[in-house]
Amino acid sequence: MAQLRISEAAELLGVSDDTVRRWADAGRLPTVRGESGRLAVEGAALAEFVRAQAAAPGAEQSARQSARNHFRGIVTAVRRDGVMAQVDLQCGPFRVVSLLSREAADELGLEPGVIAVAEVKATNVVVGIEGAR
């Protein structure tokens, strides 16, 4: 079973190491002692924590949609041409890029600094494992 250092868990969640430690101290996130004796989080426990957070009352979700992958972030760039626009969002540690019509980008008022939500629904998603060949 994968064990993650506190810093790795924080990076995956897009929060600080201190936030993960506070969650652990409060009993919200179970931890173990890793092989080196340092505090660690089991991969399965982190996955369950994330699922519980997403399903918690008040968790931001769009109503009546089939898309489940919502990434709240800040618009960092908008490139417009005659017909299309490319919108870059920084959602925690993730960069999400969307191509949409210029008209839609204009109607939404998308500009750097605007808070937006990317809703991702894909039929093909490539998943890889770090270090695997």
pLDDT along the chain (133 residues), means of 10: 86 88 94 89 88 66 61 90 94 87 96 89 75 64
Q: Is the domain of 73 the same as that of 51?
A: no
Structural domains counted in the chain = 2
Q: Is the domain of 74 the same as that of 104?
A: yes
Residue with tokens 């101290």: 25
Report the relative pairing of strands 84-91 and 39-42 from DSSP bridges.
unpaired
| DSSP assignment letter at 56 | S
- Give the pLDDT of residue 1: 62
Q: How many CB atoms lie within 10 A of CB 31?
A: 22
- Give the pLDDT of residue 65: 58
Structural domain containing residue 88: 69-120
Torsion sign (Cα): 50, 52, 58, 63:
positive
Q: How many CB atoms lie within 10 A of CB 68?
A: 11
Cα(41)–Cα(117) distance, rounded to whole angstroms? 28
- Give the pLDDT of residue 11: 86
Q: Is the domain of 73 the same as that of 115?
A: yes
